Amino acid sequence: MLKQVLIAAVCGAVMLTAGILIGHYGISSGSSAPAWVKDVARDVDESLIEKFLSEVDNIQIQENLRELTKVPHMATTAGDERTVQLMLKRWQDPDTGLDQAWREEYMVYLSFPDPKNPNKVTVVSPSAAVLYTAREKEKLYGPDQDDPEVVQPYAAYAPAGHPQGKLVYANEGKPSDYQRLNQTLDLRGTIAITRYGGAGRAAKAINAAPYGVAGVLVYTDPLDINDGLMSDVNETYPHSWYLPPSGVERGSFTSRYGDLLTPYLAAKEETYRIPVENITGIPPIPIQPIGFEDAYALICELGGQPAPADWQGAFNCTYNFGGPGFKPTSAFNNSDVKLDIYNHEEVKNSSNVMGVIRGSVEPDRYVIYGNHRDSWVHGAIDPSSGTSVMLEVTRVLGRMVKQGKWRPRRSIIFGSWGAEEFGLIGSAEYTEQYFAKLSERTVAYINVDISVFANATLRASAIPSVQNVIFTAAKQVKAPGLDSTSVYDNWIRYANRTSAAHGTIPRVGFLTGAGSDYAAFVHYLGIASMDISYTYDRTKTNARIYPAYHTAYDTFDYAAKFIDPGFISHQAVARTAGNVLIRLADSLVLPLNCSDYAEILEMYLKNALHLYQDQLTAKNISMEPLKRAVAKFRSAATQLDQVIQGSDLANETPLKVRRINDQLMLLDRAFLDPLAFPEKYGYRHVIWASSGANLPTFPGLADSFANADLPELTGGWEKVHHQLSILSQAIEGAAHTLDDVI
Amino acid sequence: MLKQVLIAAVCGAVMLTAGILIGHYGISSGSSAPAWVKDVARDVDESLIEKFLSEVDNIQIQENLRELTKVPHMATTAGDERTVQLMLKRWQDPDTGLDQAWREEYMVYLSFPDPKNPNKVTVVSPSAAVLYTAREKEKLYGPDQDDPEVVQPYAAYAPAGHPQGKLVYANEGKPSDYQRLNQTLDLRGTIAITRYGGAGRAAKAINAAPYGVAGVLVYTDPLDINDGLMSDVNETYPHSWYLPPSGVERGSFTSRYGDLLTPYLAAKEETYRIPVENITGIPPIPIQPIGFEDAYALICELGGQPAPADWQGAFNCTYNFGGPGFKPTSAFNNSDVKLDIYNHEEVKNSSNVMGVIRGSVEPDRYVIYGNHRDSWVHGAIDPSSGTSVMLEVTRVLGRMVKQGKWRPRRSIIFGSWGAEEFGLIGSAEYTEQYFAKLSERTVAYINVDISVFANATLRASAIPSVQNVIFTAAKQVKAPGLDSTSVYDNWIRYANRTSAAHGTIPRVGFLTGAGSDYAAFVHYLGIASMDISYTYDRTKTNARIYPAYHTAYDTFDYAAKFIDPGFISHQAVARTAGNVLIRLADSLVLPLNCSDYAEILEMYLKNALHLYQDQLTAKNISMEPLKRAVAKFRSAATQLDQVIQGSDLANETPLKVRRINDQLMLLDRAFLDPLAFPEKYGYRHVIWASSGANLPTFPGLADSFANADLPELTGGWEKVHHQLSILSQAIEGAAHTLDDVI
Within 379-438 of A, beta carbons closer than 8 Å to B belong to 411, 413, 432-437
CB contact under 8 A, A652 and B266: no
Q: How far apart are CA A569 and CA A558, in angstroms?
A: 15
Return all residues near B283 (Cβ < 8 A) that are at least 6 apart. B155, B157, B158, B159, B202, B205, B206, B209, B216, B253
CB contact under 8 A, A659 and B271: no
Maximum distance among all Cα pairs of chain B, rounded to whole angstroms: 130
- Residue of B210, B178, B209, B180 whose CA lies nearest to B194: B178
Find out whether the peptide bond into A306 is cis, omega within 30 degrees of 0.
no
Nearest-by-CA chain A residue for B38: A30
**Which residues in chain A have their CB less than 8 angstroms from residue B15's CB?**
11-13, 15-16, 19
Q: Give yes or no for A734 touching B (CB within 8 A).
A: yes
- Do B101 and B373 meet the contact criterion of CB atoms below 8 Å apart? no
- Point out the catalytic residue in the list A172, A249, A420, A732: A420
Catalytic residues of B: 420
- Residue of A93, A85, A51 whose CA lies nearest to A402: A93
Q: Give yes or no for B6 touching A (CB within 8 A).
A: no
Within 700-719 of B, beta carbons closer than 8 Å to A belong to 715, 718
DSSP state of A32: B
Q: Given a cut of 90, is residue B331 above it in pLDDT?
A: yes
CB contact under 8 A, A40 and B268: no
**Which residues in chain A have their CB less than 8 angstroms from residue B708's CB?**
none
**Using N-to-C axis directions, what is the helix angle for A568-586 and A467-475, rounded to 10°?**
120
**Which residues in chain A have their CB less than 8 angstroms from residue B718's CB?**
272, 275
CA-to-CA separations, B518 to A683, B11, B428, B731, in angstroms, rounded: 29, 69, 9, 22
What pLDDT does A581 receive?
A: 98
* The pairing of beta strand B100-112 with beta strand B344-357: antiparallel
Q: What does R_g of chain A's alpha carbons equal in angstroms?
A: 29
What percent of chain A is predicted at pLDDT more than 90?
93
Q: Given a cut of 60, is residue B23 above it in pLDDT?
A: no
| Buried/exposed A164-178: b ≥16 CB within 10 Å, e otherwise | bbbbbbbbbbbeebb
Q: Please report which residue ranges of B22-99 form alpha helices under DSSP H.
A: 36-41, 46-55, 58-68, 78-91
Note the ipTM here: 0.94
**Which residues in chain B have their CB less than 8 angstroms from residue A655's CB?**
40, 361-362, 654-655, 658
> Which H or E run contains B177?
helix B175-184
Q: Give yes or no for B678 touching A (CB within 8 A).
A: no
Within 348-377 of A, beta carbons closer than 8 Å to B belong to 356, 358-359, 361-364, 366
Average pLDDT over residues B481-485: 90
Amino acid, res. A555: T
Q: How far apart are CA A449 and CA A398, in angstroms?
A: 21
Maximum distance among all Cα pairs of chain A, rounded to whole angstroms: 133
DSSP state of A258: S
- Do B229 and B242 meet the contact criterion of CB atoms below 8 Å apart? yes
Q: Please report which residue ranges of A408-567 form alpha helices under DSSP H.
A: 425-433, 435-441, 467-475, 487-494, 518-519, 556-558
Give the residue ranges of chain A where pLDDT is below 70: 1-31
Q: How many CB atoms lie within 10 A of CB B486?
A: 18
Q: How far apart are CA A471 and CA A57, in angstroms?
A: 22
Q: Give yes or no for B675 touching A (CB within 8 A).
A: yes
CB contact under 8 A, B24 and A25: no
CB contact under 8 A, A436 and B268: no
What percent of chain B is predicted at pLDDT more than 90?
93
What pLDDT does A166 receive?
A: 98
- Do A167 and A191 meet the contact criterion of CB atoms below 8 Å apart? yes
CB contact under 8 A, A726 and B265: yes
Average pLDDT over residues B503-509: 98
Return all residues near B98 (Cβ < 8 A) that are at least 6 apart. B91, B92, B355, B356, B357, B394, B398, B401, B414
**Which residues in chain A have their CB less than 8 angstroms from residue B721's CB?**
272
- Residue of B712, B714, B695, B692 whose CA lies nearest to B703: B692
Within 32-71 of A, beta carbons closer than 8 Å to B belong to 32-34, 36-40
* The pairing of beta strand A155-156 with beta strand A164-165: unpaired
Average pLDDT over residues B355-384: 98
Of B266, B721, B742, the CB nearest to A729: B266
pLDDT of B338-367, one tens digit each? Answer: 999 999 999 999 999 999 999 999 999 999
- Residue of A323, A338, A310, A339 whose CA lies nearest to A168: A323
Q: If you count residue pairs, one on A and one on B, with CB atoms under 8 Å apart, how many are there?
A: 252
pLDDT of B393-446, one tens digit each? Answer: 999 999 999 999 999 999 999 999 999 999 999 999 999 999 999 999 999 999
- Residue of B385, B358, B369, B394 whose CA lies nearest to B581: B369
Return all residues near B119 (Cβ < 8 A) that are at least 6 apart. B113, B136, B152, B153, B154, B288, B339, B340, B341, B342, B343
Within 628-667 of B, beta carbons closer than 8 Å to A belong to 651-655, 658-659, 662-663, 666
- A712 CA to chain B: closest CA distance, Å? 19
Q: Give yes or no for B540 touching A (CB within 8 A).
A: no
Best residue in B3, B16, B667, B686 to probe A by mutation, most A CBs within 10 Å? B16
For the whole model, what pTM was predicted? 0.95
CB contact under 8 A, A18 and B16: yes
What pLDDT does A9 receive?
A: 59
Q: Is A63 a catalytic residue?
A: no
What pLDDT does B2 receive?
A: 57
DSSP state of A470: H
- Give the E-state strand segments of A279-424 in sequence order: 287-289, 336-340, 344-357, 362-372, 410-417
**Which residues in chain B have their CB less than 8 angstroms from residue A30's CB?**
33, 37-38
Find out whether the peptide bond into A238 is cis, omega within 30 degrees of 0.
yes
- A423 CA to chain B: closest CA distance, Å? 22
CB contact under 8 A, A30 and B32: no
- Residue of B454, B479, B458 whose CA lies nearest to B467: B458
What pLDDT does A29 receive?
A: 45
**Which residues in chain B have their CB less than 8 angstroms from residue A6's CB?**
none
CB contact under 8 A, A737 and B18: no
Q: Give yes or no for A6 touching B (CB within 8 A).
A: no
Within 250-279 of A, beta carbons closer than 8 Å to B belong to 262, 264-266, 268, 270-272, 275
CB contact under 8 A, B34 and A265: no
What pLDDT does B27 receive?
A: 47
Q: How far apart are CA A183 and CA A535, in angstroms?
A: 40
CB contact under 8 A, A272 and B725: yes
Phi (first) and psi of residue B344, to 5 degrees: -140, 155
**In three state form, how does the secondary structure of A547-566 look?**
CCCCCCCCCHHHHHHHHCHH
Q: Give yes or no for A741 touching B (CB within 8 A).
A: yes
Chain-centre distance of CA B514, in angstroms?
A: 7
> Which H or E run contains B251?
strand B251-252
Q: If 0-12 CB within 10 Å is exposed, 13-18 middle and 19+ buried, where does residue B539 land?
A: exposed
Amino acid, res. A134: A
pLDDT of A151-194, one tens digit each? Answer: 999 999 999 999 999 999 999 999 999 999 999 999 999 999 99
